[in-house]
Amino acid sequence: EPEVTQTPSHQVTQMGQEVILRCVPISNHLYFYWYRQILGQKVEFLVSFYNNEISEKSEIFDDQFSVERPDGSNFTLKIRSTKLEDSAMYFCASRLTGGAGNEQFFGPGTRLTVL
């Protein structure tokens, strides 16, 4: 069964460093998302991406964040200068078509720890 994959599973970085989290969505999917989950809290929407551009972003997704689909398979989230409060699980999701009623498939997540 096709699945969303994410690498690395765990990333440890120093405050102020740049990190890139990588995702490989399901191959024929067209809509891509990043969510984050601070330990013990709910999953929060960060950004959605379609047709090589951002469709929507949340207040969390400030100028320190960027997304890119550099080739036909990868979807990346970059945090330019990490802060302690960026420590969280980051989930990538994809779906075949947009709009309501179509399942988003989630990856296993990357645990980011900022020291």
Partner 1 sequence: GENVEQHPSTLSVQEGDSAVIKCTYSDSASNYFPWYKQELGKGPQLIIDIRSNVGEKKDQRIAVTLNKTAKHFSLHITETQPEDSAVYFCAANTDKLIFGTGTRLQVFP
The 53-92 site mask, x for binding partner 1 (CB under 8 A), equals: --xx-x--------------------------------x-
Select the residue interacting with partner 1 from 29, 48, 75, 88 (CB under 8 A). Answer: 48
Q: Which is nearer to partner 1, 18 or 56 (CB)?
A: 56
Q: Which is nearer to partner 1, 93 or 114 (CB)?
A: 93
Answer yes or no: are the C-beta atoms of 92 and 107 closer than 8 Å.
yes
Q: Does 49 bind partner 1 (CB under 8 A)?
A: no
Tokens coding 16: 């102020």
Residue 101 exposed, middle or buried by CB count within 10 Å (0-12, 13-18, 19+): exposed
Select the residue interacting with partner 1 from 67, 75, 109, 114 (CB under 8 A). Answer: 109
Residue 9 to residues 90, 112, 114, Cα–Cα distance (Å): 10, 9, 14
CA–CA separation, 67 and 20 (whole Å) = 9
> What does the binding site for partner 1 look like in residue numbers (CB under 8 A)?
4, 31, 33, 35, 41-45, 48, 55-56, 58, 91, 98-101, 103-109
